[in-house]
Structure 1
Amino acid sequence: MITIITHVGLKKGAEPEWDMAMRERLASARQRPGWVGGQLLIPLDGIDRRVIVGTWLTRADWEAWHNDPTFQETRRRLDGLEAESSRHEWHEVIEDVRKPATPLGAAA
Structure 2
Amino acid sequence: MTVITHVSLTPGREPEWDAAMRDRLETARDQEGWLGNQLVIPLDAPNERTVIGTWTTRAAWEAWHSDEAFLETRERMEGLQDGPSEMTWYEVVSEDRA
Normalising by structure 1, what TM-score?
0.89
The percent of aligned pairs where both chains have the same amino acid is: 54
Per-residue displacement from partner, 1:24-67 (whole Å, max 9, x unpaired)?
A: 00000000000000000000110000000000000000000001
Secondary structure of the residue aligned to 1:32 is coil
Please state how far the C-alpha of 1:79 moved relative to its aligned partner.
1.9
Q: How is 1:1-108 mapped onto 2 (pairs within 5 angstroms)?
A: 2-99=1-98
Normalising by structure 2, what TM-score?
0.98
Query: Residues of 1 paired with 2:62 and 2:94: CA distance?
Result: 22
Instruction: Specify every segment of 5 or more residues in structure 1 that has no aligned partner in the other structure, as ranges.
Output: 100-108
Query: Residues of 2 paired with 1:56 and 1:5: CA distance?
Result: 11
Query: Residues of 2 paired with 1:77 and 1:96: CA distance?
Result: 33
Please state how far the C-alpha of 1:9 moved relative to its aligned partner.
0.4
Larger-gyration structure (1/2): 1
Stretches of 4+ moved more than 3 A in 1? none
Which amino acid in structure 1 is aligned with residue 86 of structure 2? R
Task: Name the structure 2 match of 1:104.
Answer: none
Secondary structure of the residue aligned to 2:87 is strand
Query: Residues of 2 paired with 1:79 and 1:56: CA distance?
Result: 24
Q: How many equivalent residue pairs?
A: 98
RMSD, aligned CA: 0.5
Instruction: Specify every segment of 5 or more residues in structure 2 that has no aligned partner in the other structure, as ranges.
Output: none
